[in-house]
Amino acid sequence: MSRLKELFQHKKNILSIYYTAGYPGLNDTVKLAETLEQSGADLLEIGFPYSDPVADGPTIQASSKQSLDQGMDLKLLFEQLKALRSKVTIPVLLMGYVNPVLQFGVENFCKACVEVGVDGCIVPDLPMVEYEEFYQTTFKENGLSNIFLVTPQTSPERIRKIDALSNGFIYLLSSSATTGQHLQVSEDTQTYFSRIADMKLNNPIMIGFGINSKETFDKACQYANGAIIGSAFVKALDPANLTGSVQTFMQNFKP
């Protein structure tokens, strides 16, 4: 059984943390993963930076720029991640834009993920039709989950299609804004979350965008299997006290 499936079978209120590879320090990627697992994270999303991160808010944009300026790229990231599975047991996803993946080569990317123990990826700007036609076989042959995103504007037909293509979980965006916004659980948002829950999809649901506190995390978990925190975590990182800043942040989400 895959690490992702085992996680969703045995745990509720799953806490997933996103951070940018190579930030704040170029060589902090695996250290952060190890510290996050020790501090209670259930799932990790490691972002590979890109020069034009259109869906990201200012915090993640800034972390991506600093990471790129320090020399991070996919080749270096996979070199760093060779040490991942000697230190980390929880599921790990890579998240980023399609351009670096295409430049690296989709088949090479998938093989490299398997070699370092990555469980899947989230590539928001990879069109579903292209994934299905050109890349799905490669992902399946390598046992990788490709995570699709759903927004408030996604049609029920498309959601059903996403559910049929998915084998990990579905990433439910709380809004169509960029990352880093505060989750506002308005009547419209509640209706949206409830509509997705009522569809009784085959795959688990994780809610992201705007989760920045225990309160917003708990609200999201009322409608989903868990929630994803990104900008708030990246903002909390202190290069002068990396381990301490991770532990302090994560204490906010412990029962």
Confidence class for position 174, pLDDT limits 50, 70, 90 = confident
> How far apart (Å, rounded) are the C-alpha atoms in residues 164 and 99?
25
pLDDT: is 35 or 54 the higher one?
Answer: 35
Q: What band does 98 get if pLDDT is binned at 50, 70 and 90?
A: very high
In sequence order, which ranges of 117-223 are alpha helices (DSSP H)? 128-130, 136-141, 156-165, 187-198, 214-221
Q: What is the pLDDT of residues 7-40, one digit of tens each?
A: 999 999 999 999 999 999 999 999 999 999 999 9
Amino acid 242 reads L
Q: How far is CA 237 from CA 29, 121, 130, 177, 255, in A?
A: 12, 23, 36, 23, 22
pLDDT tens digits for range 184-234: 555 678 889 899 999 999 999 999 988 989 999 999 999 999 999 999 999
- Determine whether 130 is an active site residue: no
How many other C-beta atoms can be found within 10 angstroms of the C-beta atom of residue 215? 12
pLDDT of residue 57: 83
Active site residue 198: no
- Please tell me which residue in 45, 79, 130, 132 is annotated as part of the active site: 45
Residue 86 has pLDDT above 90, yes or no: yes
pLDDT at residue 182 greater than cutoff 70? no
* DSSP E strand boundaries for the chain: 14-20, 43-47, 92-95, 120-122, 145-147, 149-150, 170-173, 205-208, 226-229
Q: Does domain 12-146+218-249 have CATH number 3.20.20.70?
A: yes
Report d(CA 233, CA 240) in Å as an integer: 15
Q: What pLDDT score was predicted for residue 1?
A: 72
Residue 179 pLDDT > 80: no
Given 37, 56, 73, 119, the catalytic residue: 56
Predicted TM-score (pTM) of this structure: 0.94
Say which residue, 3 or 183, is predicted with more confidence.
3
For residue 122, what pLDDT is reported?
97
Can you tell me the mean pLDDT for 93-99?
97
Say if residue 74's pLDDT is above 70. yes
Residue spans of the domains in the chain: they are 12-146+218-249
Q: What pLDDT does 78 receive?
A: 98
226 DSSP β-pair partners:
14, 206
**Statement: residue 46 has pLDDT above 90:** yes
pLDDT at 55 over 80: no
pLDDT (tens digit per residue) in 122-173:
999 999 999 999 999 999 999 999 999 999 999 999 999 999 999 999 999 9
DSSP secondary structure of 40-64: T-SEEEEEPP-S--TT--HHHHHHH
- pLDDT at position 180 is 41
